[in-house]
Structure 1
Amino acid sequence: MTETGAAGEPQTAQGSHEEDARRGTTGYGTPVSAPSGWRVFHATGDAPVGASVRLPAPPPWREFGGEPLQPPPGDDPRATERRLGTAQARPQLRDEEVDLVNAALLLRRPILVSGPPGVGKSTLAYLVARELGLGRVLPWSVVSRTTLKDGLYAYDSIGRAQAIAAWRAGEEREEAPEIGDYVTLGPLGTALLAYERPRVLLVDELDKSDIDLPNDLLHVMENGCYDIPELVRSPQREATVVTDDPNGRAVVHGGRVECREFPVVIITSNGEREFPAAFRRRCLPLELRPPGREQLVSIVVSHLRRRPEGIEGLLDHFEKSVAAGGTQTVDQLLNAVQLIASGGFHDDEAGRKLVEILLRDLAKGR
């Protein structure tokens, strides 16, 4: 049996459309369309004023219950401003790119960012962190020798053994050295602590890693937790360890670290190799293309805090070079704009040659 609502829409006697929407369907079992205001991230880099941005609730299969809750992390505004410049009202990403980032935030899934060098892959992490007010970005730069343990934690066994020997000899310390003083969490390990709001983790250039590292990350990305064996074996059920944040400390219970909110994970790749299908299945792929004219202007104004006069020809040259297959990066453009906008620059033959050097095609070697 059905009734007619105030707007003339049919609704079931057992429940209203609000209940159907909560279940994700209409009264006829068809999916509810996404609300128009579902975005929480708009790629403007504009830091929140007053109350922090409220993130969508995670899916039931991405809920975690880590303890104990850690205090909110600090920020690093200087590092963020070096990456982003000042905030701008205009978005620095395309609409489809913004939508994918919001989907990753909603689903609590890592973002695998690819694209040409200098297109802004790692900058995305700083853009998300500042706009959502998530504190300092945790950067993890990957090389061929990097292992999963490097990202999780390090244990200084030699330092602790020396401290115990000194304590037993009655030197300096009155109390036995705490094991937590010799455990330092890495960027990944810190990001998985139990924070009330997610941390932002930047895994930079994962394609440079050993072939096993992407597979080793699967367990951590699925379960949002890891164990520190040295603390698991310790008779102390609680330890205060060093984190990857400057002067950071965190309490760990029973040697297990589990997140409360899964971190915002930005993984960058220059496409040097393919990742396993199991790894790619757990990530949302985002391919960044070279920025268009509007985005270039926004980036220039963000970094120089003004729009210098006489840069239109420079922007034209940059766009044409990239469109022709050249490997020029945005930071090269910023350097060139800063040069011509500085007082005393002469637009003569020598000056133009210097600008050409700054905007050289990086694929051609020197």
Structure 2
Amino acid sequence: MSAQEQTEPGGWRVFHGTGSAPETPPDLHEAPPWRRFGGGPALPVPPADPETARRRLGPGDITLRLRDEDVDVVNAALLLRRPLLITGPPGVGKSTLAHLISRELGLGRVLEWSIVSRTALRDGLYTSDAMGRAQAIAAWRASLGNAAVQEGGAADPVDTPDAGVKDAPFPISRQQPPVMCDFITLGPLGTALLAHNWARVLLVDELDKSDIDLPNDLLHVLENGSYEVPELVRDAADTARVRTDDSGDRVEIRGGRVECREFPVVVITRNGEREFPAAFRRRCLPLEMRVLTQLFALMEGHIMIRPPGTESLVDEFVQRVQSGGTHSLDQLLNAVQMTTAGGFQADGDARTLVEMLLRDLAKGR
């Protein structure tokens, strides 16, 4: 690939791995005909979350060091509207890539869905607070009963909810029963599939920790770019305003169905603990992140300097990872940060502390 193809305006690459926020979001190119969706009404993309980005990417300008082939895979996923399936050891920067893409392309706040063994597809789409709704209905009925009793009306507010309305000190008829949409909250996946004008970035973190059925369940939603909220489908109201994973936001859903306008940038991470079904893997673009190409950039991005002795700590960390141990970048950052403390040396009497910081997490202590 020529340098002109990589940097020329209008070229097929829109992501270059720089992590620099744009003045205006770049054009992501038109989606292939088979990956176009027609959801509505159109919604603006919420602003970025700079504090989260700073924690993930560090306060400096140094970012992940992506190989050219890695950048190509990211751009192919953007162009084809397909999920990225990223493999690599813990702490190598897999989830950081989602924040890098979001910042460089101006795609707003990253939606994060962390997977555990009990996670089900519905957890990512939406939650329904049935208990809260039952309590709200009970309180509503009680308020009608109290008002009716105050006016000498019917004793049973459930059977005669409008009793005492005419002469009540406050208009009981305006006390509407709790509506279903007040107890529905869209999850990260459900929010990512809303009809935003620009693609959202969705991070599905550590999918290989999930139940064996989740990848197949997720496949259907990602393929269709849509889903239904059964509670709202059954509801009498044609439209509903529900909360989203973006704090404080409410959006309108019509007929209980959600469909995206722009397919989200889906970044799925895995630690290689198990394989996924072939049907799932063929719809994702694989990307394997390497330890050696990332550590110095990630470390300098967070700590801002390279203290003396850093190279030996990185070499030791890499050897431990390559020997089959389970380690996280946080351990290396902690060890390097200790070297910035006055008088601390990573060898000699402090060796025991370094061993503790860089211990194999799979061994339980």
Scaled by the length of structure 2, what TM-score is found? 0.83
Which residue matches 1:216? 217
2:45 is paired with a residue of what secondary structure? coil
* Cα distance change of structure 1 residues 90 and 147 upon mapping to structure 2, 3 Å threshold: closer
Output one character per residue of 1:45-71: Cα deviation in whole Å (capped at 9) or x when no partner. Answer: 2222x2123222211111111111123
Structure 1 CA distance, aligned partners of 2:209 and 2:315?
34
Partners of 2:86 and 2:270 within 8 A in 1: yes
Which residue matches 1:94? 67
What RMSD in Å do the two structures reach over aligned CA positions?
2.3
Q: What displacement does 1:186 show?
A: 1.1
Higher relative contact order (CA 8 A, sep 6+): 2
Q: What displacement does 1:345 show?
A: 2.4
1:245 paired to 2:243: no
Partners of 2:38 and 2:261 within 8 A in 1: yes
Output one character per residue of 1:181-235: Cα deviation in whole Å (capped at 9) or x when no partner. Answer: 1111111111100111111111112112222111111221111001111111222
Ranges in structure 1 where 5+ consecutive residues have no aligned partner: 1-33
Q: What displacement does 1:283 show?
A: 0.7
Q: What displacement does 1:145 show?
A: 1.8
1:167 paired to 2:166: no
Structure 2 CA distance, aligned partners of 1:115 and 1:316?
18
Which residue matches 1:305? 304
1:126 to 86, 93, 99: 99
Which residue matches 1:192? 193
* Cα distance change of structure 1 residues 65 and 43 upon mapping to structure 2, 3 Å threshold: same
Structure 2 CA distance, aligned partners of 1:343 and 1:178?
61
Ranges in structure 2 where 5+ consecutive residues have no aligned partner: 145-171
Output one character per residue of 1:226-270: Cα deviation in whole Å (capped at 9) or x when no partner. Answer: 111111122211111011122221111111100111111111112
Structure 2 CA distance, aligned partners of 1:342 and 1:332?
16
* Cα distance change of structure 1 residues 215 and 312 upon mapping to structure 2, 3 Å threshold: closer
Q: Percent identity?
A: 64
Which residue matches 1:105? 78
Structure 2 CA distance, aligned partners of 1:300 and 1:186?
32
1:271 paired to 2:272: yes
Structure 1 CA distance, aligned partners of 2:248 and 2:34?
34
* Cα distance change of structure 1 residues 40 and 345 upon mapping to structure 2, 3 Å threshold: same
1:138 paired to 2:137: no
Output one character per residue of 1:123-166: Cα deviation in whole Å (capped at 9) or x when no partner. Answer: 22122112212112111112222111111112223322332332
For 1:260, give the aligned amino acid.
R
2:143 is paired with a residue of what secondary structure? coil
For 1:77, give the aligned amino acid.
P
Which residue matches 1:25? none
Q: What displacement does 1:320 show?
A: 4.5
Which residue matches 2:20? 46
Kindly tell me the number of residue pairs found equivalent between the two proteins: 330
Partners of 1:119 and 1:289 within 8 A in 2: yes
1:226 is paired with a residue of what secondary structure? strand
Partners of 1:141 and 1:203 within 8 A in 2: yes
1:315 paired to 2:314: yes
Structure 2 CA distance, aligned partners of 1:89 and 1:339?
21
Partners of 2:115 and 2:206 within 8 A in 1: yes
* Cα distance change of structure 1 residues 256 and 297 upon mapping to structure 2, 3 Å threshold: same
Partners of 1:66 and 1:194 within 8 A in 2: yes
Q: What displacement does 1:119 show?
A: 1.6
Partners of 1:44 and 1:87 within 8 A in 2: no
Partners of 1:46 and 1:87 within 8 A in 2: no
Which residue matches 2:88? 115
Structure 1 CA distance, aligned partners of 2:116 and 2:321?
28
Which residue matches 2:331? 332
